[in-house]
């Protein structure tokens, strides 16, 4: 079994007091942030979203009991990988095998249909495994009595080619991943609401069956404003190996942009999409990468933002944040720069018509002292 595993981020919506369920979800502020919760998660381009049994029972399967055939006492050993046309996966942590699914795919809110993968331990019965097989629901065995989280994520990568996992609770699941040392990033959509109740679940909770762990510290990675006074906060576990999510843009990454490397700080890549009538290129910036100030003489440029988050600035104006779907029209003779934010890859398509007597004048770099002071407004 390879040691390689997916990029894993915990993505949760919370109240100011850390609650992840309860009456705060009924507020107007939560309604606004709830919509932002989906697109903020999508910036990571997850292949799978993962929750625990209780979350699925409360929100999807409604505590139904699976219809098992008690005579089915034999089942093939090992895991079961069913065929699917779905492009995304739903991973249900269900150690004993209790969830009652009616289909092998689930489509939730704005998310694409997701093929269900049940995560079991050896406690799950042959009858339940046969139930999953009849419904063409995939399953993996990850542990004997207790969950082996590292084994689980390795299997998800190896058997399903899952590269990015969004862990979405509940609190015990979140803590289990964090305590196992396999979380690369914590993403919190903080709602400007206080709950105060004593019966709601918090962001991280230790199972009473687990030994008491050591508190885990985090380092702040980025903060952005959301609607209704909310914040999107990203942290990395302190001391954890730095692991950025892989490039998952819509177009080919291309080759390292060596020809223009002297005009960039950080690593960039370029892929030619078309050169018929105009130069159309997919340009990708690694986190923190940006180009120098420059001017396009005699020709305009248009940027179509496709993936990640970036910055754009014209001389004498404020820095403009960029996200997928944004379009930037740059007139000729305007001094400007653009690039990725510190915490994320960024890709845009550059469109520039061919014209006689046109050129690009490269100027001074956007140095670290200036770049590191940029904040989202």
Domain boundaries, the chain: 7-237, 255-371
The CA-based dihedral angle spanning residues 255, 256, 257, 261, taken in that order and rounded to the nearest 10 degrees: -170
Whole-angstrom distance, CA of residue 88 vs CA of residue 253 = 21
Mean pLDDT calculated for residue range 22-35? 95
Q: Does 110 score more than 80 pLDDT?
A: yes
Q: Looking at residue 123, what is its pLDDT? A: 97
Q: Looking at residue 2, what is its pLDDT? A: 43
CB-CB contact of 272 with 190 (8 Å): no
Q: Looking at residue 279, what is its pLDDT? A: 95
What's the CATH architecture for 7-237? 3-Layer(aba) Sandwich (3.40)
Q: What is the pLDDT of residues 88-107, one digit of tens each?
A: 999 999 999 999 999 999 99
Q: What is the pLDDT of residues 284-310, one digit of tens each?
A: 999 899 999 999 999 999 999 998 889
Radius of gyration from C-alpha coordinates of the chain: 24
Q: Which residues of 83-121 are buried (b: 16+ CB within 10 A; e: fewer)?
A: ebeeebbbbbbbbebbbbbeebbbeeeeeeebbbbbbbb
Mean pLDDT calculated for residue range 326-333? 98
pTM value is 0.78
Mean pLDDT, the chain, rounded, equals: 93
Whole-angstrom distance, CA of residue 304 vs CA of residue 325 = 7
Whole-angstrom distance, CA of residue 12 vs CA of residue 21 = 10
Residue 241, exposed/middle/buried by CB under 10 A (0-12, 13-18, 19+)? Answer: exposed
Q: Does 358 score more than 70 pLDDT?
A: yes
Q: What is the pLDDT of residues 160-185, one digit of tens each?
A: 999 999 999 999 999 999 999 999 99
Q: Which residues of 4-32 are buried (b: 16+ CB within 10 A; e: fewer)?
A: ebbbbbbbbbbbbebbbbbebbebebbeb
Q: Does 186 score more than 90 pLDDT?
A: yes
CB-CB contact of 251 with 266 (8 Å): no
Q: Does 195 score more than 90 pLDDT?
A: no
Please state, for a pLDDT cut of 70, what percent of the chain lies above it: 97
DSSP, collapsed to helix, strand or coil, labels residue 54 as helix
Residue 178's Cβ-side half-sphere holds a number of Cα atoms within 13 Å equal to 28
Mention every residue, 6+ apart, whose C-beta is less than 8 A from residue 176.
147, 149, 207, 210
Peptide bond into 136 cis (omega under 30): no
Q: Please provide the DSSP assignment of 208-250 as one string.
A: TTSPP-----EEEEEEEE-GGG-EEEEEEETTSPP-PPPP--S
Sign, Cα dihedral of 118, 119, 124, 129: positive
Q: What is the pLDDT of residues 205-258, one digit of tens each?
A: 998 777 777 899 999 988 888 889 999 999 999 987 766 666 667 788 889 999
Q: Looking at residue 244, what is its pLDDT? A: 65
CATH class assigned to 255-371? mainly beta
Mean pLDDT calculated for residue range 150-156? 98
Whole-angstrom distance, CA of residue 210 vs CA of residue 204 = 13
Mean pLDDT calculated for residue range 260-267? 97
**Higher pLDDT residue, 42 or 114?**
114
DSSP, collapsed to helix, strand or coil, labels residue 200 as coil
């Amino acid at each position: 079994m390879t040691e390689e595993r997916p990029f894993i981020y915990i993505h949760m919506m919370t109240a100011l007091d850390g609650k992840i369920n309860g009456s705060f979800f009924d507020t107007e502020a939560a309604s606004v942030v709830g919509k932002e919760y989906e697109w903020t998660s999508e910036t990571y381009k997850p292949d799978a979203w993962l929750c625990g049994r209780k979350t699925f029972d409360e929100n999807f399967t409604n505590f139904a009991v699976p219809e098992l055939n008690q005579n089915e006492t034999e089942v093939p050993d090992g895991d079961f990988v069913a065929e699917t046309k779905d492009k995304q996966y739903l991973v249900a942590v269900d150690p004993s095998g209790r969830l009652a699914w009616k289909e092998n795919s689930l489509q939730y809110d704005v998310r694409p249909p997701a093929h269900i993968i049940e995560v079991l331990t050896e406690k799950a019965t042959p009858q339940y495994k046969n139930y999953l097989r009849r419904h063409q629901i995939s399953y993996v065995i990850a542990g004997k009595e207790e969950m082996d989280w590292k084994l689980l994520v390795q299997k998800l990568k190896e058997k399903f080619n899952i590269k990015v996992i969004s862990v979405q609770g509940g609190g015990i699941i979140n803590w289990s991943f964090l305590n196992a040392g396999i979380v690369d990033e914590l993403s919190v959509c903080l709602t400007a609401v206080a709950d105060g109740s004593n019966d709601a679940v918090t962001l991280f909770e230790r199972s009473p069956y687990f030994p008491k762990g050591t508190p885990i510290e985090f380092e702040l990675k980025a903060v952005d404003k959301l609607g209704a006074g909310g914040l999107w906060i990203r942290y990395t576990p302190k001391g954890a190996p730095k692991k950025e999510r892989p490039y998952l843009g819509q177009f080919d990454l291309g080759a390292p942009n060596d020809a223009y490397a002297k005009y960039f700080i950080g690593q960039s890549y370029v892929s030619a999409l078309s050169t018929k009538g105009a130069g159309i290129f997919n340009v990708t910036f690694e986190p923190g990468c940006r180009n120098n100030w420059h001017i396009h003489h005699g020709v305009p440029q248009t940027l179509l933002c496709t993936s990640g988050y970036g910055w754009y600035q014209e001389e004498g104006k404020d820095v403009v944040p960029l996200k997928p779907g944004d379009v930037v029209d740059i007139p000729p003779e305007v001094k400007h720069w653009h690039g990725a934010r510190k915490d994320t890859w960024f890709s845009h398509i550059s469109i520039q018509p061919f014209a006689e007597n046109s050129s690009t004048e490269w100027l001074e770099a956007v140095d670290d002292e200036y770049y590191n002071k940029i904040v989202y407004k």
